Amino acid sequence: MKRLLVVLLLTPILMLPGCATGPKEEAGMVIGGIIGGVLGSQVGSGRGRTTATVIGALAGSAIGSSIGREMDEMDRMKMSATLEATRTGVATTWSNPDTGYDYRMVPTRTYESAEGPCREYVLDAEIGGRTEQVYGTACRQADGSWRVVD
């Protein structure tokens, strides 16, 4: 019975990427879902933990999708520049003149992986008067670009 409940609760999460309209939205949805699920798993206990994990994953997917959908090429360039040149713990802020959205990004940890240097970060995005927060990790590729890995 418990497995059936988990399968029924997780099925909507697996179907969500099919609703996304582009790669930015899909990436945001996946990242947000993972982070939301991890955070949700820390809230509940026993049966409540499974429910909290699923709810956290769904909420994180929605938030991440929203931010990913709203970011344009200039915003991604600002993120890459922040990952490349900003010290850990130092915030970079920018406003997108085309969208009117404001962003604040803080690299929180830098480490080496098999792929190369990676950085964890927190991104606050003020979109439509609401501030949303995403935690993520990006690794530098051989061509110098940064790729979100979680």
| 108 shares its domain with 134 | yes
Number of H helices, E strands in the chain: 4, 5
CB-based contacts of 118, cutoff 8 Å, min separation 6: 110, 111, 112, 137, 138, 139, 140, 149
Q: Are 93 and 112 contained in the same domain?
A: yes
Q: Quick one: 60 and 80 in the same domain? A: no
In the three-class reduction of DSSP (H, G, I as helix; E, B as strand; rest coil), residue 114 is classed as: coil
Same domain (yes/no): 33, 90: no
| Distances from the Cα of 129 to the Cα of 47, 100, 126, angstroms | 36, 10, 6
Residue at token pair 């969500």: 16
Q: Which residue range forms the structural domain that includes residue 25? A: 2-70
Q: What is the pLDDT along the chain (150 residues), one digit of tens a residue?
A: 444 333 333 344 444 444 444 444 455 555 555 555 555 556 556 666 666 666 665 555 544 554 555 578 989 999 999 999 999 999 999 999 988 999 999 999 999 998 899 999 999 999 888 899 999 999 999 999 999 986
What is the C-alpha to C-alpha distance for residues 129 and 101, in angstroms, rounded to an integer?
9
